[in-house]
Homo-oligomer: A and B are copies of this chain.
Amino acid sequence: MTSRRVVLPESEIPSQWYNLQADLPAPLPPVLHPGTRQPIGPSDLEPLFANELIKQEVSTERWIEIPQEVRDVLSIWRPTPLVRARGLEKALKTPARIYFKDESHSPPGSHKTNTAVPQAFYNATQGIRRLTTETGAGQWGSAMSFAAKQFDIECKVYMVKVSYQQKPYRRSMMHMWGGTVTPSPSNETESGRKILAAEPDSPGSLGIAISEAVEAAVQREDTRYTLGSVLNHVMLHQSVIGLEAQRQLKLYDDSPDVMVGCCGGGSNFAGLTFPFVPEKLKGKDIRFVAVEPCCCPTMSRGQFRYDFGDTTQLTPLIKMFTLGHSFIPPGIHAGGLRYHGMAPMVSFALELGLIEAAAYHQIECFEAARLFAETEGTIPAPETSHAIRGAIVEALRCKEEGKEECIVFNLSGHGLCDLGAYDRYFSGELEDYQYPQEKIESAIGALPEISDWQES
């Protein structure tokens, strides 16, 4: 197989999602109620999420059917290409074979749509007429607006106010697909009004926007909330990435030694790698590298313990790698990687030693992105540049060690709406930032004392 790209026919869009929960050597620690600190049940989640999504959240079935209506919408951009990065290999003079799975071709430009579409579908079939969500830089909000439009339901997005002002392109994209975008904090919710009363010029935060979106969802019978990462059902929906990659690698007659993805909430990394985990569990020598930014080192320097998903302590307590919900990372351009926690499934896999973590600085990631754009064409999102950096580090190791390994990474999204960040890189304005250990310790130290539920 000498092709640069392998594109599967539409008939090979996976018909089932793969659920790693079925194969984990131990069950996931339960999610706890923030008040009672006891495991929560489905009824606690019903005002927030569609029933089918709640079932998927706790399911331990290995394979879950993808509805035909969902596959029909996925076919707008799936199956996505698996590309042999010969240009990058040549530039690095590495004996390694580098492949990337190109998730940048969805209409909003990232992998986020893979879960936005089933989330919209399950809500629509349950008779829900309206979805709320929050968005930072706008990737998730635009994916959710697009998906809601496909099933003819409304989408209401609370967008962090400073992004709303600074990222007009993502906002326009949401308008294009019929989404309603409100800068957060807003006067539309109690949470928003409270913040505005205390700080009229508040620039907003993801934590505040989550509170607004959740509040707006529970207020109305016909409305539910959607989330673009972290949750188990999001990891499930993203498995289409890895499942397609498995078939494509077979066509190349190749098999991965190392797989790399960037990690914010964890969903694109999980989507690529989880379908390959069973091979590792059966003894295959394969490494999974989750790459995060040095200045938000959730997995490399955080702790595996119970914490809240949001800053304002509204969400259930989840066992995950965390820097503490009060941790505020510096404003790097990879906004999607600025999260204090990590998906419970990714965290648990790390704790079990199934995956490993790596952290890189912003500038070295932009350098990797530039080399990638020069040699492979696509301009990657700043988040994605971390995966590229991770893949390059592995390829250079192979060169040093003279090893012909197979490296596969996830090109989670393009950077066409982030070109301002590249301008700052080219003009030398960017800075790297190593978070001081004492600040991390103090954020983690402030966490409530919750003895491990399973062991208690």
Q: Which residues from chain A sit less than 8 Å from chain B, CB to CB?
A: 3-5, 7, 9-11, 72, 75-77, 105-107, 109, 146, 149, 168-169, 172-173, 175-178, 370, 373-374, 376-379, 416-417, 419-420, 422-423, 426
A378 touches B107 (CB 8 A): yes
A374 touches B76 (CB 8 A): no
B169 touches A416 (CB 8 A): yes
A77 touches B416 (CB 8 A): no
- Please name all residues of chain B whose beta carbon is closer than 8 Å to the beta carbon of A423 when the two chains form the complex: 168, 172, 175
A422 touches B105 (CB 8 A): no
- Please name all residues of chain B whose beta carbon is closer than 8 Å to the beta carbon of A149 when the two chains form the complex: 374
Chain A to chain B contacts (Cβ below 8 Å), 15 pairs: A3-B10, A4-B75, A76-B377, A77-B377, A105-B105, A107-B378, A168-B423, A169-B416, A169-B419, A172-B419, A172-B420, A176-B370, A176-B379, A416-B416, A416-B417
- Please name all residues of chain B whose beta carbon is closer than 8 Å to the beta carbon of A75 when the two chains form the complex: 3-5
Closest CB in chain B relative to A173 CB, distance in Å: 6
Using A176-B379, A377-B107, A378-B107 as known contacts, say yes or no to A419 and B168 having CB atoms under 8 A apart: yes
Using A10-B3, A146-B377 as known contacts, say yes or no to A109 and B76 having CB atoms under 8 A apart: no
Using A169-B416, A176-B370, A422-B176 as known contacts, say yes or no to A376 and B4 having CB atoms under 8 A apart: no
Closest CB in chain B relative to A148 CB, distance in Å: 11
Closest CB in chain B relative to A294 CB, distance in Å: 23
Bound-complex Cα distance A435 to B328 (A): 56
Closest chain B residue, CB of each to CB of A415: B176
Q: Of the candidates B3, B72, B173, B379, which one forms a contact with A419 in the assembled complex, judged by CB atoms under 8 Å apart?
A: B173
- Please name all residues of chain B whose beta carbon is closer than 8 Å to the beta carbon of A422 when the two chains form the complex: 172, 175-176
Bound-complex Cα distance A3 to B75 (A): 8
- Count the copies: 2
Closest CB in chain B relative to A55 CB, distance in Å: 28
- Please name all residues of chain B whose beta carbon is closer than 8 Å to the beta carbon of A5 when the two chains form the complex: 10, 75
Closest CB in chain B relative to A419 CB, distance in Å: 4
- Please name all residues of chain B whose beta carbon is closer than 8 Å to the beta carbon of A420 when the two chains form the complex: 168-169, 172
Bound-complex Cα distance A246 to B7 (A): 19
A379 touches B4 (CB 8 A): no
Closest chain B residue, CB of each to CB of A422: B172
Q: Of the candidates B77, B106, B177, B426, which one forms a contact with A374 in the assembled complex, judged by CB atoms under 8 Å apart?
A: B177
Bound-complex Cα distance A379 to B414 (A): 15
Using A107-B373, A417-B416 as known contacts, say yes or no to A379 and B173 having CB atoms under 8 A apart: yes
- Please name all residues of chain B whose beta carbon is closer than 8 Å to the beta carbon of A378 when the two chains form the complex: 107
Closest chain B residue, CB of each to CB of A75: B4
Bound-complex Cα distance A109 to B377 (A): 10
B373 touches A4 (CB 8 A): no
- Please name all residues of chain B whose beta carbon is closer than 8 Å to the beta carbon of A9 when the two chains form the complex: 3, 7
- Please name all residues of chain B whose beta carbon is closer than 8 Å to the beta carbon of A7 when the two chains form the complex: 7, 9
- Please name all residues of chain B whose beta carbon is closer than 8 Å to the beta carbon of A175 when the two chains form the complex: 422-423, 426
